[in-house]
Amino acid sequence: MKILVCIKQVPDMESKFKVDESGTWYAKTDLAWRMNEYDEYAVEQAVQLKEQCKEGDITVLCIGSDQVKETMKKSLAMGCDRGAHIKDDEASGKEPFEIAGVIAEFAKDKDFELIFTGMQSQDRGSGQVGILVGEMLGIPSVSTVVEFSYEGGTLDLKRELEGGIKACVKVSSPAVITCQLGLNTPRYPTLPNIMKAKKKELLSIDIGDLLRVEPRQETMKMYFPEKKGGGLVLEGEAADLADQLIKILKEKTGVLA
């Protein structure tokens, strides 16, 4: 069984962000980078499926600059078999229709039985790429999956809805699955597997070879939201902060009365 997993490298969301010179994206300097959280579940599900079927071949794909190879190596250490790095220094400016177009172009003749993506990326957060890939390839897609089971080409899935309700869904492969938080427990790569990953194949493909679609939207500017104000910010030493907070709670809430 051939499986494709699409991952994105994103900054740690606790980073201090700055807007870059173009004024349309965040500056990429002084940031810590990691795998998009949703994509960790995608990688884990692919690896678990291979373990269950006792056969399989997992390609992990990532579009980005050379820097994303670090994150790709983590997924190889988690158990993916090979990497397809689509080299693009301008990836952050690509909108979801372009990203999906590139993934679909890569996947179109390769007979992947399953394609896993995250339900959304943490930085851009469009939640579109997985479903668009399914549309472009003409195969079904199911989004926001929190439970997954596979048996002989049939997928039993649960989609998560608001309020913790789930929708039970059945679909046949080939299909695209977009993974939601909590789908599984992503493994930590072990040291031997990190060593093994170093020897795994990491293909490099130029973005120009796969980009066949035109963008449909454009970012005009990026900025920090205006602070709505009102909120009080307290900084200092713990005991002092606690005294200040207790005083406020006594004045403003009936809780400590």
Partner 1 sequence: MKLLLIAESREGKLLGGSYELMAFAQELGAETAMFLVGSEADLPKYDGTLYLADVADAGEYNPEAHRALILDVIDKEKPDSVVFCHSSYGWDLAPRLAYTLKAAQISEVVGVADGNMVVPVCNSKLRREVKAGTAQTVITLQNGAFGLAEDPAGTPTVEKISGGTGTVIEFSGFELAEAGGVDLAKAQVIVSAGRGIGKPENVALIEGLAKALGGEYGASRPVVDSDWVEHNRQVGTTGQTVTPKLYVACGISGAIQHLAGMKKSEFIVAVNTDKDAPIGEVADVLVVADLKQFVPVLTEKIQAL
Ligand X SMILES: Nc1ncnc2c1ncn2[C@@H]1O[C@H](COP(=O)(O)O)[C@@H](O)[C@H]1O
Which residues form the interface with ligand FAD (CB under 6 A)?
A: 13-14, 181
Nearer to ligand X among residue 155 and residue 176 (C-beta) = 176
What are the tokens at 125? 């957060």
Q: Candidates 118-126, 189-197, 214-222, 237-245 — which segment interacts with ligand X by CB under 6 A?
A: 118-126
The answer to whether 16 contacts partner 1 (rule: CB under 8 A) is: yes
Closest approach of partner 1 to the CB of residue 15, in Å: 8
Indicate which single residue of 31, 127, 147, 202 sits in contact with ligand X (rule: CB under 6 A): 127
- State the sign of the Cα–Cα–Cα–Cα dihedral 221, 222, 224, 228: positive
Closest approach of ligand X to the CB of residue 122, in Å: 8
Beta-carbon count within 10 A of 222 CB: 13
Indicate which single residue of 4, 35, 64, 174 sits in contact with ligand X (rule: CB under 6 A): 64
The answer to whether 7 contacts ligand X (rule: CB under 6 A) is: yes
The answer to whether 120 contacts ligand X (rule: CB under 6 A) is: yes
The answer to whether 115 contacts ligand X (rule: CB under 6 A) is: no
For residues 241 and 68, give the distance between their C-alpha atoms in angstroms, rounded to a whole number.
41
The answer to whether 38 contacts ligand X (rule: CB under 6 A) is: yes
The answer to whether 93 contacts ligand X (rule: CB under 6 A) is: no
For residues 11 and 224, give the distance between their C-alpha atoms in angstroms, rounded to a whole number.
16
Q: Candidates 60-68, 70-78, 196-204, 209-217 — which segment interacts with partner 1 by CB under 8 A?
A: 209-217
Q: In Å, what is the CA distance from 143 to each residue of 76, 156, 166, 220, 235?
A: 24, 13, 12, 29, 42
Give the DSSP letter of residue 195. Answer: H
With CB under 5 to 8 Å by kind, the binding choice for 211 among ligand X, partner 1, ligand FAD, none is none
**Which residues from 30-49 bind partner 1, rule CB under 8 A?**
none
**Which residues from 118-147 bind partner 1, rule CB under 8 A?**
119-120, 122-128, 131-132, 135-136, 140, 142-144
Closest approach of ligand FAD to the CB of residue 240, in Å: 17
- In this structure, which amino acid lies at residue 160? E
Closest approach of ligand X to the CB of residue 221, in Å: 19
What are the tokens at 188? 């930590």
Indicate which single residue of 76, 77, 80, 99 sits in contact with ligand X (rule: CB under 6 A): 99
Enumerate long-range contacts of 66-75, CB under 8 Å, 24 or more apart. 67/9, 67/33, 68/9, 69/202, 70/9, 70/33, 71/7, 71/9, 71/33, 71/34, 71/35, 72/7, 72/202, 73/194, 73/197, 73/198, 73/202, 74/35, 74/189, 75/5, 75/7, 75/35, 75/43
